[in-house]
Amino acid sequence: MRYESILDRLLHAVERALAARARDLADHGVRRLVVAGGDTSGAVVEALGLTLLRIGPAVAPGVPWTEATRGAHFLNLLLKSGNFGAEDLFAAAQDLQ
Name the E strands within the chain.
32-36, 54-60, 63-70, 73-80
pLDDT over 90, % of the chain: 58
Count up the domains in the chain and report the number. 1
We report the CATH number of the domain holding residue 23 as 3.40.980.20
Burial class (CB in 10 A: 0-12, 13-18, 19+), 4: exposed
pLDDT score at 97: 57
pLDDT tens readout for residues 3-38: 678 988 999 999 999 999 999 999 999 999 999 889
Q: Which residue has the higher pLDDT, 74 or 85?
A: 74
Global confidence as pTM: 0.85
pLDDT tens readout for residues 48-57: 999 999 999 9
Torsion, CA 60, CA 63, CA 66, CA 70, rounded to 10? -140
- What range defines the domain where residue 60 resides? 2-96
pLDDT score at 3: 67
**In angstroms, what is the C-alpha Rg of the chain?**
14
CA angle, 43 then 25 then 66, to 5°: 60
Strand order in the sheet with 73-80: 32-36, 73-80, 63-70, 54-60
Residues in the chain: 97
| pLDDT confidence band for 93 (50 / 70 / 90) | confident
